[in-house]
Amino acid sequence: MSEEELEVHVTGENGEIVMKVIVIGDGGVGKTSLLRKYVKKQFEYKYLPTVGVNISKQPMKYLNKDINLMFWDIAGQPQFHLLHKVYYNGANAAILMFDLTNSPSFFNIKNWYNELIKYNLKEIPMILVGNKSDLTKDRKIIEPMVGNMMEQLGIEIYYETSALNGQNVNEVFEKVVEVYLKKMNLI
């Protein structure tokens, strides 16, 4: 990719770096809650399933660079899978998310990863996130399982988060930006 093409892809009108981050995983794992906690510093106790896609924007500063994060919170329900190709187009990074208290959501990470591969997104930075870490008594997924999954998929970064109490929420998004900027040789 030439420098000219790179500028077109990552520079917004005001010179900021624009990143499209897709957040994927099964329905009910907490994708919307995690984004709401990061963007609005709020937690919604009532579950409202995403219909299609929710798009939100969050500016941030990282190493004196202005970053404009565009989050695409993609519905996890099967009836929306036909729309994924359109939603994935132009993604700069992916957060693959599962619920630490829900084994099927963890094992379905392979399917979400394979969908990224199917749509030629193997080269974008990917971070694995296990959400609902605050529900320790209900936990079904243990560290060795996560390590095995990471090894199988070639994903090197993992965080456990709680959208309820904010554990590691900011860290996930800072890491997404860091990994992307390094990949693009911008830091």
pLDDT digits (tens, 9 = 90+) for 99-138: 999 999 999 999 999 999 999 999 999 999 999 999 999 9
User: What pLDDT, on the 0 to 100 scale, is given for residue 2?
Assistant: 38
Please list the ranges in the chain whose pLDDT falls under 50: 1-9, 51, 79
What tokens does 24 get? 């994927």
CA distance 141 to 143: 7
User: What pLDDT, on the 0 to 100 scale, is given for residue 42?
Assistant: 74
User: What pLDDT, on the 0 to 100 scale, is given for residue 16?
Assistant: 85
CB 131 within 8 A of CB 146: no
User: What pLDDT, on the 0 to 100 scale, is given for residue 10?
Assistant: 60
User: What pLDDT, on the 0 to 100 scale, is given for residue 5?
Assistant: 38
Say which DSSP state 65 is in: E
- What residues pair up with 176 in beta bridges, in sequence order? none
What tokens does 125 get? 């930075």
What are the structural domains of the chain?
3-183 (3.40.50.300)
pTM: 0.87
- What residues pair up with 19 in beta bridges, in sequence order? 69
User: What pLDDT, on the 0 to 100 scale, is given for residue 88?
Assistant: 84
Instruction: Collapse the DSSP code of 156 into the 3-class scheme (helix H, G, I; strand E, B; otherwise coil) and give the result.
Output: coil
Tokens 């890491």 -> residue: 175
